[in-house]
A and B are shown apart, each in its own frame.
Chain A
């Protein structure tokens, strides 16, 4: 059977979630592999959320926020960017391919970009194959 990855996405309420809604109202089609979780700001994305997603079997995690300078809360997206860099290092050490975690700026008007992002990310994750971390963790019984 074809590998159908599950991607957990954290979208900020003001830009990216609205952008994703716009993709819907514009009836753009994209791959059905993404599961969106809404947060008020990309700055709210706690590293735990990302690790938890991988731990529960997500094949990819996506974080979207407002473009730099456009944050509804002034600079939450910058904080998110810093954390993202650290998380990348961390998951690599855990044995998760860094490409499984992705950060992208999506504004409220970028429905098209959101749809394209989901398609490209799904394709990337498909190439990587299923994430093994859940099985690893369970075998080690951590």
Chain B
């Protein structure tokens, strides 16, 4: 590992949202107040120290930024207004770009032009595909009076697209997670973790993904709920679209209590509540965690909100027999959804859905290595 102090790194991190990186004088109040920091994983102070001194190699093996859920308590208590919470947030962006081997993540985080161009190009591709490749809209209605969605977006074709996209995205994400694993566990513990440890600690990954218990340890529990609703809504919707599309995108209109519609409604409501809380928070800027919004934060919220709204519109137009409105909103939905998933899941903010539970898992592995050394 390179142990040379490197003043260029903090300068580089500016583009990931770090400001006032040198205000911190290491009193340790942030670490003392943090409800999540623990023996062996002391943050934010230690992580900030590595950042200040530009120790890139050490930072890249750090799992700590992912263990922080940014309640903002540290920033509130900081006597120097160094905003440690935001520093941790910025480091998560930086680490995401470090794990990504394509280099696109860094481009998206540090250049608005790249990010917007990518979105627009893929949006146009989606629109063109619908117009020129897929079958045209059948304006006749089903016997129930619904729109024939499968006429212009046949689920077996869309399903192929979904699977293809899921495989690409998952492939990228998995390869990045492997890189994260290599740095955090392999390098971070000098390869001291045995296979048995990997198996024994695995349930932490699942448990933390589903319940997010660490977030609930933060002072303000309401955000755990908002965040959990958002996450579970998203995950359910994602599974419905990718795995169960033939069952989900039916022309038959089921009664509202039917599982298909009930799950869809739950996911939509969960997403809406979570998004509203986040958007209001970022607009009001009353809490520390919402005070500084990076472009990537807003872009993610806006795109997801638009996806949800267009999704709701598709549903409304379809059940009420409005073929053209359904057609347009379906294309809009896909034109937003596709670039969002392509950018967000492997390269940007949405990747924390994977990195966070994996970080908890990797932290457990590091800990088992530590106890071994001790």
Q: Do chains A and B touch in the complex (CB under 8 A)?
A: no
